[in-house]
A = this chain, B = another copy of it.
Amino acid sequence: MIDAVLKQIDANREASVAGLKELLKIPSVSTKPEHKDDLRRCAAWIADKLNAMGLKAQVKATGGHPAVVAKNEHKAGRPTILFYGHYDVQPPEPMDKWLTPPFEPTIRDGAIYARGAVDDKGQVWAHLQAIAAWQNNGGLPVNLTLLIEGEEEIGSDNLERFVRDNRDFLKADVALISDTNQYARGLPAITYGLRGLVYNEVFITGADHDTHSGLYGGAIPNPANILCTLLGSLHDADQKVTVPGFYDDVIPLSQAEREAWAKLPFDEAQFLHELKLGGPMGEKGYTAIERSWARPTCDINGLTSGYQGHGAKTIIPSTASAKVSMRLVPNQDPVKIVESFERMLRERCPKGVKIEFARHGLSAPVLVSREGKAMQLATEAVHDGFGKTPTLIRSGGSIPVVGLIKSTLGIDTLLVGFGLPDDRVHSPNEKFDLDALHAGTRTAAALYGKLLHMKS
């Protein structure tokens, strides 16, 4: 049957791209309240597609943006797969950097350009197309449950409660996510490690209004000066993070992993050149791959204070704020880390000003087993889809739901992703290669076929 399924996928290549375009046109930016209705519309669009394939799909309310859930007809004796994806996207800003508008998907040089092209709409779409092909050829051979949420890009704050409340509905033998990358063009991959995330916002408030920097400068505390002093002390000269206890629970990289990664094709000079960077920077004693896959970081994601217009304005700003996130590695505890971070800044903050925090999401780091039947079948499926055996890699990104699935449902997750490292995820001109979309759709179809045998 898989041959017929793959044949249909090959025949449907162009129609598949047209469908993805429709999905990418919906500006489902979860962080912005003004897009609330677009999120709802996007969820309904996906549920309609799944219902049309003969699955039973619903848009379910959460504490925030809704989630789409769906099932095919579950039959006794077959393994159950939980597919997870997300339909929300990052904000498109800065708008002036897009060659074509972020919500007008455009084909260029064999790729589709749009916000969400690869993260994660395009990869979800590959699965929907694989499911459709199976449904047209006798039906999916496994029990499949889908959970496609709308808050991944804002920390999946309401997902934990949703998964707990729907534990029975979501019960499965293995979870499957396509929200990661191939290692490189022509080198498909399966990901076995993800970093966790703590996302914090720091607010410093001084005088209750902006004041004249001549008349007041020197006499009163300046929140922007204070913010820079606090944030400027988060790294030492070796680019180690200075948050107390930050490295206490970090599992050191194994020698085997370091050796395996050193053999991966990676040209750091070329990597930096493509980003127009003058040189590398990062934690001393580790390679770039090690630093981004398996070492924790602390990065400022945004800074705001005072006058940001053209030219000069001579003020002591009333407020200064920063968005600061930390990527965590096994076994760092997000709660312990965010508490230590806030305590450190609070203690160092001069008494003249007020310091406050907001937390925008916590997620645990993940390591999944590289052994076992499911991983073996996934490896074969990627080979069927891409024509090559995948490499096992880690990723520096975070997918909060993987830890949640483990802790709530007690199962591991297969991270079989189709993106490329140059897809500009979260950046202007995000893209998804059409070859990858096609090979990914084939891989997804093969996976659903193979996973039937995961218990044998």
Contacts and interface: CB of A to CB of B under 8 A. Distances in A.
Interface of A: 31-33, 90-91, 93-94, 97, 153-155, 181, 195, 197, 199, 206-222, 224-225, 227-235, 271-272, 275-283, 288-289, 291-292, 295-317, 320, 322-323, 325, 327, 350-354, 360-361, 395-398, 421, 424-429
Nearest to A281: B221
Contact of A315 (B278, B313, B426): B426
Give the residue among A153, A220, A234 with the most B Cβ atoms within 10 A: A220
A300 B209 contact: no
A316 B427 CA distance: 10
A214 B197 contact: yes
Given A32-B310, A212-B427, A277-B352, 7 more contacts: A91-B307, A153-B313, A154-B311, A212-B397, A218-B396, A228-B303, A303-B308
Given A299-B213, A303-B305, A308-B304, A325 B320 contact: no
A28 to B, nearest CB: 14
Contacts of A195: 214
Given A221-B281, A229-B232, A425-B215, A302 B291 contact: no
Given A306-B302, A312-B361, A282 B218 contact: yes
Contact of A325 (B272, B302, B314, B352): B314
Determine the main DSSP class of A at the interface with B.
Answer: loop
Given A300-B222, A311-B31, A395-B215, A306 B323 contact: yes
Contact of A235 (B206, B225, B303, B396): B225
A395 B303 contact: no
A204 to B, nearest CB: 11
A32 B219 contact: no
A309 B217 contact: no
A296 to B, nearest CB: 8
A248 to B, nearest CB: 18
A69 to B, nearest CB: 24
B281 A209 contact: no
A301 B325 contact: no
Contact of A323 (B312, B323, B325, B398): B312
A409 to B, nearest CB: 24
A398 B214 CA distance: 7
A360 B311 CA distance: 6
Contacts of A230: 232
A102 to B, nearest CB: 13
Contact of A91 (B289, B292, B313, B351): B313
B303 A217 contact: no
A180 to B, nearest CB: 10
Contact of A229 (B218, B235, B309, B424): B235
Given A91-B309, A217-B299, A299-B217, A197 B314 contact: yes
B212 A426 contact: yes
Contacts of A302: 224, 305-308, 313, 315, 317
B197 A313 contact: no
A313 B304 contact: no
A456 B312 CA distance: 44
A377 to B, nearest CB: 27
B304 A323 contact: no
A205 to B, nearest CB: 8
A146 B33 CA distance: 54
A428 B283 CA distance: 44
A99 to B, nearest CB: 12
Given A212-B397, A212-B426, A426-B210, A316 B299 contact: yes
Per CB-CB distance, the 9 closest pairs between chain A and chain B, nearest first, are A232-B232, A214-B397, A221-B281, A224-B300, A218-B291, A302-B306, A279-B352, A312-B360, A207-B275
A211 B427 contact: yes
Contacts of A298: 225
A101 to B, nearest CB: 16
A154 B327 CA distance: 42
9 contacts: A216-B396, A219-B271, A219-B288, A219-B292, A224-B303, A279-B351, A300-B305, A301-B316, A302-B313
Contacts of A275: 206-209, 211, 220
Give the residue among A212, A215, A218, A325 with the most B Cβ atoms within 10 A: A218
